[in-house]
């Protein structure tokens, strides 16, 4: 019932999700070096979520007897010269991942692959949330980040983010 195209795109998404985790850990490393431990925490939690997303794709494929093939994960490629760069980089990356999820959805829709569409529904919603979170971080940074006291408070706020496992259960 699964087309070659859908299976290929699902497999590629695993690499993209692991890359997302890798990228966000790179951001976390940057903020850690900058002494912004709250920002580092926020991106470490985000990296954990991205790893979970990869695992969900793997599980979905395994449950449906689709072969999983791991590919190489690329080097994180966002250059961070100032505190805002990683925040902007994360929004750009989330928009890219949203487009990627939509591409799989479109392929599943064309193939009348309702099972994959239903699986992807959770990711469509999740991506909307993640784009909002990235946008919020940029807005807060624009408002408060230029003032050292504001930056300190923002760092404190981002430091409170805690990891929660995904709500999607397969
Ligand atoms: Fe995988 O959730 Fe965003 O990228």
Three-state SS sequence of 107-167: HHHHCCCHHHHHHHHHHHHHHHHHHHHHHHHHHHHHHHCCCHHHHHHHHHHHCCCCCCCCC
Q: Is residue 44 part of a domain?
A: yes
Q: 9, 107 in Cβ contact below 8 A?
A: yes
88 lies in which domain range?
4-158
Question: In 3-state terms, what secondary structure has residue 69?
Answer: coil
Where residue 1 falls among pLDDT bands split at 50, 70, 90? confident
Helix (H) / strand (E) element for 103: namely helix 83-110
**What CATH number is given to the structural domain containing 30?**
1.20.1260.10
Closest residue CA from atom 1 of ligand 1: 50
Ligand 1, pocket residues at CB < 6 Å: 17, 20, 50, 53, 94, 97, 126-127, 130
Domain count across the chain: 1
Percent of the chain with pLDDT over 90: 98
Tell me the whole-structure pTM to 2 decimals.
0.97
Residue 168 falls inside a structural domain? no
In a domain, residue 67? The reply is: yes
């Amino acid at each position: 019932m699964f087309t070659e195209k859908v299976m290929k795109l699902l497999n590629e998404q695993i690499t993209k999700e692991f890359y997302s985790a890798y990228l966000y850990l790179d951001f976390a490393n940057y903020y850690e070096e900058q002494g912004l431990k709250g920002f580092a925490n926020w991106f470490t939690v985000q990296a954990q979520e991205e790893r979970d997303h990869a695992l969900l794709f793997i599980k979905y494929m395994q449950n449906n007897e689709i072969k999983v093939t791991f590919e190489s994960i690329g080097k994180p490629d966002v250059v961070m010269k100032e505190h805002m760069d990683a925040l902007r980089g994360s929004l750009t990356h989330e928009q890219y991942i949203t487009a990627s999820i939509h591409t799989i959805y479109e392929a599943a829709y064309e193939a009348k692959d309702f099972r994959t569409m239903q699986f992807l529904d959770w990711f469509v919603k999740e991506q909307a949330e993640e784009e909002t979170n990235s946008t919020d971080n940029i807005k807060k940074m624009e408002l408060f980040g230029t003032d050292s006291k504001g930056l300190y408070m923002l760092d404190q706020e981002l430091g409170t983010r805690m990891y929660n496992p995904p709500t999607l259960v397969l």
